[in-house]
Homo-oligomer: A and B are copies of this chain.
Amino acid sequence: MKLALINSAWESAEKCRNCEIRNLVLFADLTQEDFNLIHLPIDDYDLEVGETLYNESMPPKFIFTIRSGMVKLVHWLPNGNYRIVRLLRQGDVGGMEALNATPYLHQAIVLQKTSICRIPVEEIERLNRESPRLHKRLTSRWQKAVSDADIWLAHLTVGSAKKRVANLLLYLEKNCEQGLGKSLLLGREDIGALLGITTETASRIIAEYKRFGVIRQTSDPLVVDIDKPELQQIAEND
């Protein structure tokens, strides 16, 4: 049993060392010695659309890095409504609240098939104490979370509903890994919760964009081709 645990830990360190997106995530700057410090298992696994990564009532024992895919952070309001406060994409870290021994602040739900690394908080704390390189990475991740939230606020909650949807589509084109000119097309309810508008308004605008050819269906119903210049035009003027 103990041996199994040690093997597992060794394996996970090995996997991290060879991880192809390592330069994007927490362990980018770790050295060989740092990896030797890893004792607890780091699990990696995939989640399907709609599955929950963590929520407010789970014990905050892990942080999560996104290897690929996309996750929404949902904040539930007392009246049963909800608001999406951020999207996590490749290289982002979720659940960092756990590092301060406080409960998770959101429910994290998968929007696109997503590949995850789940890292025990204990492990992070040990490395944090013993590896200044990891510490540096962690604080810069934290900063990224703050500045993402600010940019969100400044771009996605101002202007008309049309502008907001245009900005969202442009944001997704950049960040959803579907390739140039392609964007993930979220459910209308999610679009509403992201932009602070109703589902009906979101639907109307998406339908209108489709009619005018600003966005076009692809073979995958969850992905659309977008007319980037046109959307940028809408986002700025109109």
Once the chains bind, are A150 and B75 in contact (CB under 8 Å)?
A: yes
A 88-131 to B, binary, CB cutoff 8 A, 1 in contact else 0: 00000000110110100110000000000000000000001100
| Distance A154 CA – B154 CA, assembled complex (angstroms) | 14
Name A196's contact: one of B75, B143, B157 (CB within 8 Å): B157
Instruction: Indicate whether A3 reaches chain B with its CB closer than 8 angstroms.
Output: no
Interface SS of chain A: helix
Instruction: Indicate whether A140 reaches chain B with its CB closer than 8 angstroms.
Output: yes
Once the chains bind, are B154 and A153 in contact (CB under 8 Å)?
A: no
Copies in the complex: 2
- List residues 194-231 of chain A with CB under 8 A from any CB of chain B: 196
Q: Which residues of B contact A149 (CB under 8 A)?
A: 146, 149-150, 153
Q: Which residues of B contact A28 (CB under 8 A)?
A: none
Instruction: Indicate whether A37 reaches chain B with its CB closer than 8 angstroms.
Output: no
| Distance A100 CA – B144 CA, assembled complex (angstroms) | 10
| Distance A153 CA – B77 CA, assembled complex (angstroms) | 12
Q: Which residues of B contact A85 (CB under 8 A)?
A: 150, 153-154
Q: Which residues of B contact A75 (CB under 8 A)?
A: 150, 153-154
Once the chains bind, are B157 and A153 in contact (CB under 8 Å)?
A: yes
| Distance A222 CA – B86 CA, assembled complex (angstroms) | 34
A 71-91 to B, binary, CB cutoff 8 A, 1 in contact else 0: 001010111010101100000
Instruction: Indicate whether A18 reaches chain B with its CB closer than 8 angstroms.
Output: no
Instruction: Indicate whether A139 reaches chain B with its CB closer than 8 angstroms.
Output: yes
A 185-200 to B, binary, CB cutoff 8 A, 1 in contact else 0: 0000000000010000
Name A83's contact: one of B77, B145, B158 (CB within 8 Å): B158
10 contacts between A and B (CB under 8 A): A78-B236, A83-B158, A85-B154, A86-B150, A100-B140, A128-B135, A142-B142, A153-B153, A153-B157, A157-B157
Binding site for B on A (CB under 8 A): 73, 75, 77-79, 81, 83, 85-86, 96-97, 99-100, 102, 105-106, 128-129, 132, 135, 138-140, 142-143, 145-147, 149-150, 152-154, 157-158, 196, 236
Beyond contacts A77-B158, A78-B236, A142-B142: 16 other A-B pairs, Cβ-Cβ < 8 A, are A73-B150, A75-B153, A77-B154, A83-B154, A85-B150, A85-B154, A96-B143, A97-B147, A102-B143, A105-B147, A105-B150, A106-B150, A139-B139, A146-B149, A149-B153, A153-B157
